[in-house]
Structure 1
Amino acid sequence: MKENILVIGGTGKTGRKVAHKLSKNGHLVRVGSRSGSPAFDWHKPEYWSLALQGMDKVYITFQPDLAVPGALNAIEALTKQAKNANIKKIVLLSGKGEREAELCEQVIIHSGIDYTIIRASWFNQNFSESFFLEPILEGFVALPQADIKVPYVDTEDISDVAVEALLNDKHNSKIYQLTGSRSLTFKEVINEISETTGRDIAFTPIAISAYTNMMKQQEVPDDFIWLVEYLFTEVLGNPNNSEITNDIEHVLGRKPKDISEYIKETAATGIWNS
């Protein structure tokens, strides 16, 4: 049965892949973005009902992160509108080990709407589509929490789980925690990117205070600095975040993509040689 599905954040790291895979399977997909039609803007709740109208299910990603101030109020307001629009199911992308994000999850869980919660570890794509890319291109990466191991997860796997959760009722009322199959430190990832690309990329550990000061000097917006500091301290500092799960294998019946495979595929695109 073909369904009408709103993908909020449908141009983002996971959303665009979810939208593509649903469309490929013949479902009617509405891309929820500021450039969509109708447009979806987290700062303009008065227009959300237009995006929800006629939809059966919703995939939600919140920008920049569910942990930021204001996210809880936005999720509460959207969930209320979703209920009024008779949305049958919500799949929410959340963050593994983010206590603030879990408050947003509770809003969905207690909404009376069928749901699946997807808690993802840090993305592989942070190294190619996000704030790690620029220092990699410059050949000098300085990051805090250098000794902490992270079980990076690929957005292809996240989007596959999201699509499966949207289309299959057996995932209703489930919370999945998605990770890769092994954990690496920042230095180990950067070294592997360096070896695969044949580029000399240096890695230096740095204190979180020095890192945030550096961002301030570069005139990075305060709300983004707050988020980065939160992610490096509260999230990476949470010992549970190094835990490796088998939820991807449980949902998809296959192993998650290894980060080495991601590095080889991404290196082949040339993005790290720009």
Structure 2
Amino acid sequence: MTKHLTEQSTTSTTKHRATHSAPHPTKHPILVTGGTGKSGRRVVSRLRALGTPVRIAARSAEPPFDWRDRTTWDAALDGVRTVYLVPLDGELLTRPFVERAARLGVERVVLLSGRGVDVPGYSGEANSAGATHVDGESAVRDSGLAWTILRPAWFAQNFSEGFFRDAILAGELRLPAGDGAASFVDAEDIAEVAVAALTEDGHTGQTYELSGPRALTMADAVAEISRASGRAIRYVPLSHREFVTELIGLGWSAAEAEEYAEAVGPIRRGLDAGLSDGVPRALGRPARDFSEYADASAKAWRD
């Protein structure tokens, strides 16, 4: 999903940041859904470094949590006043979960949403995550809880921990992104903003559009990774249909292949190149550049 391309002046950013407080100590655990994912595990690590009690919501946790099994929700929420909420893509479970959380005493929720929630036509019909984010944002705004919404751009970590890593290791990234650019955001920045919103005053009612400080084409991103890792990597642009056909040939279902292609489509259409002010507005510093991410992640492409 994408976002409004808002920019604030340095004066405005400084003023907003000055209203925030130091993290509040709490005896209540902060519940982190998606606590083993790209942003969630970084949120958990940062909260623990602050000495904040944390409860990870996962099927392997104790108590176990399963998005699709509502009988597990109450135990995960027991004694919780604050939640970092990473929704289950493709499902409309955020609203009933938030409603249940409010009834059980939760007071604050920080929702990980996505770009394009407020941009008509951003997500294709095959992209099920779009409906999840639209309904999720509406749910937290309607909840009566203190809320903060994060709308990140494409995670830079998709190249080192996610969708694109195998292709990078193989030396060729093949995508239907054309020569479009994306303002990739470092998951470390997402986590730092999330922790600020979970533990400080001054973030309630804020929707933070999160991006890096510049937009890169896929060819640009691959060049940065090649520089940092010492690997020879090239980007090969494909048409939507070529990409879907290749994935089906690799054993993907047609529906999954279409959804992946449509997720990349906004880059090709120029909808992901905009720069957002959420990181400086929330943290009072610039967002990390992609080159910093590539240097810090080089080991992931050398193994």
TM-score, normalised with respect to structure 1 = 0.91
The 2-side partners of 1:43 and 1:226 are apart by: 24
Number of equivalent positions: 265
| 1:105 aligns to 2:130 (yes or no) | no
Aligned residue for 1:117, secondary structure, equals strand
| 1:87 aligns to 2:101 (yes or no) | no
Aligned residue for 1:51, secondary structure, equals helix
Preserved contact between residue 146 and residue 187 of structure 1 (Cα < 8 Å): no
| 1:133 aligns to 2:165 (yes or no) | yes
The aligned amino acid for 1:147 is D
The 2-side partners of 1:7 and 1:96 are apart by: 21
Corresponding residue for residue 175 of structure 1: 207
Corresponding residue for residue 40 of structure 2: 15
Corresponding residue for residue 32 of structure 1: 57
Displacement after TM superposition at 1:222 (Å): 5.5
Displacement after TM superposition at 1:195 (Å): 2.5
The aligned amino acid for 1:61 is V
RMSD over aligned Cα, in angstroms?
Answer: 1.6
Aligned pair in 2 of structure 1 residues 238, 60: CA closer, same or farther (>3 Å)?
farther
Aligned residue for 1:12, secondary structure, equals coil
Preserved contact between residue 59 and residue 91 of structure 1 (Cα < 8 Å): yes
Preserved contact between residue 179 and residue 268 of structure 2 (Cα < 8 Å): no
Preserved contact between residue 83 and residue 110 of structure 2 (Cα < 8 Å): yes
The aligned amino acid for 1:273 is R
Corresponding residue for residue 58 of structure 1: 83
Aligned residue for 2:106, secondary structure, equals coil
Does 154-163 or 32-41 show the bigger shift?
32-41
| 1:273 aligns to 2:302 (yes or no) | yes
Alignment of 1:228-267 (within 5 A): 228-233=260-265, 235-236=266-267, 239-267=270-298
The 1-side partners of 2:94 and 2:254 are apart by: 22
Aligned residue for 1:78, secondary structure, equals helix
The 1-side partners of 2:110 and 2:277 are apart by: 19
Preserved contact between residue 181 and residue 270 of structure 2 (Cα < 8 Å): no
Corresponding residue for residue 237 of structure 2: 205
Preserved contact between residue 142 and residue 203 of structure 1 (Cα < 8 Å): yes
Displacement after TM superposition at 1:262 (Å): 0.7
The 2-side partners of 1:174 and 1:125 are apart by: 25
The 2-side partners of 1:50 and 1:187 are apart by: 47
The 1-side partners of 2:140 and 2:258 are apart by: 25
Aligned pair in 2 of structure 1 residues 25, 263: CA closer, same or farther (>3 Å)?
same
Corresponding residue for residue 125 of structure 2: none
The 2-side partners of 1:223 and 1:57 are apart by: 36
Aligned residue for 2:97, secondary structure, equals helix
Aligned residue for 2:209, secondary structure, equals strand
CA offsets per residue over residues 149-181 of structure 1, 9 Å max, x none?
A: 101000100000000001123111110000000
Unaligned runs of 5+ in 2: 1-24, 119-129
Preserved contact between residue 10 and residue 31 of structure 1 (Cα < 8 Å): yes
TM-score, normalised with respect to structure 2 = 0.83
The 2-side partners of 1:43 and 1:223 are apart by: 21
Preserved contact between residue 7 and residue 58 of structure 1 (Cα < 8 Å): yes
Does 219-228 or 73-82 show the bigger shift?
219-228
The 2-side partners of 1:59 and 1:46 are apart by: 20
**Larger helix share, 1 or 2:** 1
The 2-side partners of 1:250 and 1:17 are apart by: 20
Preserved contact between residue 176 and residue 261 of structure 2 (Cα < 8 Å): no
Displacement after TM superposition at 1:209 (Å): 1.4
Aligned pair in 2 of structure 1 residues 28, 224: CA closer, same or farther (>3 Å)?
farther
Displacement after TM superposition at 1:98 (Å): 3.8
The 2-side partners of 1:30 and 1:224 are apart by: 32
Preserved contact between residue 190 and residue 210 of structure 2 (Cα < 8 Å): yes
Preserved contact between residue 102 and residue 145 of structure 2 (Cα < 8 Å): yes
CA offsets per residue over residues 219-274 of structure 1, 9 Å max, x none?
A: 235664343133122x435645321022211111111111001111111x2x2123
Percent sequence identity is 34
